[in-house]
């Protein structure tokens, strides 16, 4: 009788250990899933495809996009942003924000950009394409004017207009691959200092 009781006791303990192990495995799986879900809400990676942001970004570079930044504030002039292409939201583009809601953005025949009447000195621009079709637009609420840094080879707001705020995914903040090229992505905020208020 004593042996049967001992056997029953050990068997019960064995089942208890198995159930505890299963519970712990499930807890780890759930916590891992929650962790990656939260990270995905805050940060996402993208592969650059195309020359439109040279010499800031190059094809096949991988960038980290800070999605949390715009939970706290709106995109700023100079930010490099990833957004859904307005003509096909299944595609993502990366460009630089030039104008924010309320801004008057003009581009003359020489490709010179002005925001609210102030001409921009844009050291990040690569291969300006001239002569250009003149552009002039006043951005409505929740609209952003974006341009590629490679002005001679970029499909951007000059072609299809401003980007709605709802299409902006986040701020491109870091090139993390290839490893020799790891660096933060500058926003050139100094270029956009002293822009007068919107008209």
Active site residues: 52, 95
Place of tokens 């290839």: 178
Determine the Cα–Cα distance for residues 92 and 15; give it in Å rounded to an integer.
51
Q: Could you count the other beta carbons within 10 Å of the beta carbon of residue 76? A: 16
Determine the Cα–Cα distance for residues 199 and 68; give it in Å rounded to an integer.
30
Strand partners, 144: 163
Residue 109's Cβ-count burial label (10 Å; 0-12, 13-18, 19+) is: exposed
């Amino acid at each position: 009788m004593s042996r049967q009781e001992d056997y029953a006791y050990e068997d019960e303990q064995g089942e208890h250990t198995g159930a505890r192990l299963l519970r712990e495995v499930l807890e780890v799986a759930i916590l891992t899933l929650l962790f990656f879900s939260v990270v995905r809400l805050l940060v996402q990676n993208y592969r650059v495809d195309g020359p439109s942001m040279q010499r800031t970004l190059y094809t096949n570079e991988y960038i980290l996009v800070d999605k949390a930044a715009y939970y706290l504030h709106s995109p700023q002039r100079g930010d490099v942003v990833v957004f859904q292409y307005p003509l096909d939201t299944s595609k993502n583009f990366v460009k630089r924000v030039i104008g924010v809601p309320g801004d008057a953005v003009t581009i003359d025949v020489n490709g010179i950009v002005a925001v609210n009447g102030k001409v921009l000195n844009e050291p990040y621009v690569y291969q300006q394409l001239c002569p250009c079709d003149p552009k002039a637009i006043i951005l409505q609420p929740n609209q952003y004017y974006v341009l590629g840094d490679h002005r001679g080879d970029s499909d951007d707001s000059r072609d299809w207009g401003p980007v709605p705020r709802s299409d902006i995914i986040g701020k491109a903040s870091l090139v993390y691959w290839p490893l020799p090229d790891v660096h933060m992505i500058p926003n050139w905020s100094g270029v956009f200092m002293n822009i007068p208020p919107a008209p």
